[in-house]
Chain A
Amino acid sequence: EDQVTQSPEALRLQEGESSSLNCSYTVSGLRGLFWYRQDPGKGPEFLFTLYSAGEEKEKERLKATLTKKESFLHITAPKPEDSATYLCAVQATMTGLGFQKLVFGTGTRLLVSP
């Protein structure tokens, strides 16, 4: 069974204090690993997709990396507006192309204090 485990469950940072979020996964063949951001009362918002080990993607203060067993979301010099829940999800190769049947982790709640 495909599984995604995220750690820590919650993380409190001071503004400017860099850190990393972890996403460990087991999947029967990885088609893609996804990072989403979710604000309270809102739906998830897409951040990144990673397809193969060694791949990296960046967007503003966020950088996502992927190995064969886990992914990291690095947050550099965070600001209060980065406070949100960050969700990791995987898509197995057995699902058809274009079929976004994702298995989500429970997320990391990030709070950045000024």
Chain B
Amino acid sequence: NAGVMQNPRHLVRRRGQEARLRCSPMKGHSHVYWYRQLPEEGLKFMVYLQKENIIDESGMPKERFSAEFPKEGPSILRIQQVVRGDSAAYFCASSPGTANEKLFFGSGTQLSVL
């Protein structure tokens, strides 16, 4: 049973470009979370999605950031017009969607903005 798969592992973008981060949850998991880890800071919640629905995006910046989890395919975190401050590790996690307390994390995408 494959774990949470994130790609790419490393992504380099120049200021003003777009970044697309992908996350395939564990098989059977319908709930996806995105967290961001800035250098010297703890993991910060960004957004919580179920299939075709954004449930809570209270941790996501209002501009330039968007997320989706379509009926088919991976969840996508999209960052438009990236700036240097967007450089961070972005982690996706999934859960089965019950009251299960365990989150399964992917290995993350390290985004570097030049």
Contacts and interface: CB of A to CB of B under 8 A. Distances in A.
Contacts, number: 64
B107 A43 contact: yes
Interface in B75-91: 91
Interface stretch (A14-22, A59-67, A73-81, A92-100): A92-100
Contacts of A100: 31, 33, 48, 93, 95, 101, 103
B55 interface: yes
Interface size class of B (residues with CB under 8 A): 20 to 34
A49 B102 CA distance: 8
A99 B30 CA distance: 12
Query: Taking chain A's interface residues, is the majority helix, strand, or loop, or is none over half, making it mixed?
Result: loop
Interface of A: 4, 32, 34, 36, 41-46, 49, 87, 89, 97-107
